[in-house]
């Protein structure tokens, strides 16, 4: 789906995130089975069933999204672009093209500095977001409109060099 050669690519270690979401999903499935099989003969309200199955569906979609997360730099006709692909086949993606990227830097961050484990924040609402699958080295992007995106990768300096932007810090 990319429009040019991939310069750098890394699959994030997201198995532990998938395990946590899988356990939460299993708890909700068990809760749904217990909830729908009431032994006292009373019917379960339809709204409660719709809500519980909607929560199951949402958890399942999130589970699929964290099974495979790939971060890559692609050379497009407009310039170097960072893509974050979520799920099998990358059917959900974040794209940070040359018009959105101002600078990139390699940082060493703790879980507390990034706001926690998983996807944190919102670029639209809070102007900050982080995709954290572990502590340690991370790629920090400064975006237009004073926004900031952080993603943990093994060797962020390689991503910074591939993006060919000015380096902060």
Q: Which two tokens stand for residue 5?
A: 């050669």
pLDDT at 90: 81
pLDDT at 169: 46
**Alpha carbons 134 and 118: distance in angstroms, whole number:** 9
Cross-sheet strand order for the sheet of 79-86: 6-11, 69-76, 79-86, 92-96
pLDDT at 35: 62
Q: Please give the average pLDDT of every successive group of 10 residues along the chain, which has 169 residues.
A: 77 72 72 62 66 76 76 92 88 90 92 83 94 90 95 93 69
pLDDT at 20: 72
Burial class (CB in 10 A: 0-12, 13-18, 19+), 5: exposed
């Amino acid at each position: 789906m990319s429009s040019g050669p991939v310069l750098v690519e890394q699959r994030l270690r997201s198995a532990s995130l998938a395990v946590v979401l899988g356990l939460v999903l299993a708890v909700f499935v068990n809760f749904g089975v217990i909830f729908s099989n009431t032994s006292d003969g009373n019917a379960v309200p339809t709204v409660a069933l719709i809500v519980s199955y909607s929560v199951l569906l949402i958890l399942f979609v999130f589970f699929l999204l964290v099974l495979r997360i790939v971060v890559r730099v692609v050379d497009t006709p407009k310039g170097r672009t960072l893509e974050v692909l979520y799920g099998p086949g990358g059917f959900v993606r974040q794209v940070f093209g040359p018009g959105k990227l101002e600078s990139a830097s390699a940082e060493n961050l703790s879980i507390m500095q990034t706001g926690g484990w998983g996807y944190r924040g919102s670029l639209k609402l809070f102007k900050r977001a982080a995709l954290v699958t572990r502590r340690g080295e991370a790629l920090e992007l400064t975006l237009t409109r004073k926004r900031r995106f952080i993603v943990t990768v093994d060797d962020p300096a390689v991503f910074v060099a591939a993006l060919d932007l000015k380096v902060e810090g």
